[in-house]
Every structure is written in structure tokens, then in C-alpha cells.
């Protein structure tokens, strides 16, 4: 090989191999993937819960606060899925094996929840509390539907 080409070939190989490892999982240990998805879900539930308190009349309605909570929840809802990768089914967690044995259904349930939260975030900007209440209910159903099939407890 021409000596000037060697570094180029080396770089292409390094990026190719590194890229393949990354595509497999962005986490260096399954423990970290599990902690990551649980953390995203925890933050999501905190902010969704704050909206729930408004919907139930336990907290006063503050348009900007609800819009912010919904935006954070929607952002969190995009994060967990890459953290259900290889090896993360072998460890103790609330994840049911159906996540991996029925991956297409899991993906569709996850996408539905993301879609519902994106809609809640969009609606929350408008400040129509009745519309927010209705969409909060639809979103909660999407959370529950996925948990019923794919989460212990």
C-alpha cells in the first residue's frame, strides 16, 4: 500500500469498528444503562406528577410551570429506549422479559407514550387547562398500558 494511504485506511477502520461498538450500546456497562433509563423515568414521573397535582386541583394552575414540566417530561420520554440494550435484560430490575421477547409491541407502546407527551407539551404552551386535563388523562393511559405489559409492579 502507498505509505500516504496507510493513515487514511487506519482512520476508516478505527471509525468503523468504534462506530459498530457504539451502535451496539452507548453504555460501557449494563448497570449504567439500567440506571440511565430509571433516572430518565424518575425525572419524567416527577414532572408528570407535578402536572397531575394541577390536574387534580392539589396545586394552583401556573401556565408557565405546567408548560415547563410538560416540556421536561416530553424530553425525558425520548431517552430510556436506547438503554434497554443487550445485557440489560439479564439483571434485576422492574423490566419484564416481554420487552425483549415482544420488542415490536414494546417499541410501539413506547412511541405512543412519547407521542402523547409531545402533544401534552404542545398543548401546555396554549394554556387551556381543560385541554391539558384531557391530554394528561390520555398520556397517563399510555404510561399505564406500557407498564401493564412491560413493567413489574
Applying CB under 6 A, which residues contact ligand ASC? 45, 48-49, 52, 140, 143-144, 147
CA separation for the pair 75, 5 (Å, rounded): 44
Smallest gap from Cβ 145 to ligand ASC, in A, equals 9
Smallest gap from Cβ 143 to ligand ASC, in A, equals 4
Residue with Cβ nearer ligand ASC (27 or 47) = 47
Exposure string of 61-77, with b = 16+ CB inside 10 Å and e = fewer, is eeeebbbebbbbbbbbb
Smallest gap from Cβ 135 to ligand ASC, in A, equals 13
Residue with Cβ nearer ligand ASC (125 or 144) = 144
> CB atoms < 10 A from the CB of 58, how many?
9
Residue with Cβ nearer ligand ASC (25 or 123) = 123
Smallest gap from Cβ 137 to ligand ASC, in A, equals 9
Q: Return all residues near 42 (Cβ < 8 A) that are at least 6 apart.
A: none
Residue with Cβ nearer ligand ASC (52 or 85) = 52
Q: Are 76 and 47 in contact (CB under 8 A)?
A: yes
> CB atoms < 10 A from the CB of 143, how many?
20
Amino acid at each position: 500500500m502507498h505509505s500516504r494511504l496507510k493513515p487514511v485506511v487506519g482512520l476508516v477502520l478505527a471509525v468503523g469498528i468504534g462506530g459498530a461498538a457504539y451502535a451496539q450500546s452507548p453504555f460501557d456497562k449494563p448497570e449504567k444503562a439500567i440506571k440511565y433509563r430509571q433516572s430518565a423515568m424518575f425525572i419524567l414521573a416527577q414532572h408528570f406528577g407535578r402536572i397531575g397535582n394541577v390536574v387534580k386541583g392539589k396545586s394552583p394552575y401556573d401556565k408557565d410551570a405546567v408548560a415547563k414540566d410538560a416540556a421536561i417530561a416530553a424530553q425525558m420520554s425520548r431517552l430510556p429506549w436506547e438503554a434497554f440494550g443487550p445485557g440489560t435484560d439479564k439483571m434485576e430490575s422492574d423490566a419484564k422479559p416481554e420487552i425483549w421477547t415482544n420488542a415490536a409491541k414494546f417499541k410501539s407502546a413506547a412511541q405512543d407514550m412519547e407521542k402523547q407527551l409531545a402533544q401534552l407539551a404542545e398543548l401546555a404552551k396554549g394554556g387551556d387547562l381543560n385541554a391539558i386535563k384531557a391530554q394528561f388523562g390520555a398520556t397517563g393511559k399510555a404510561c399505564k398500558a406500557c407498564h401493564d405489559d412491560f413493567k413489574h409492579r
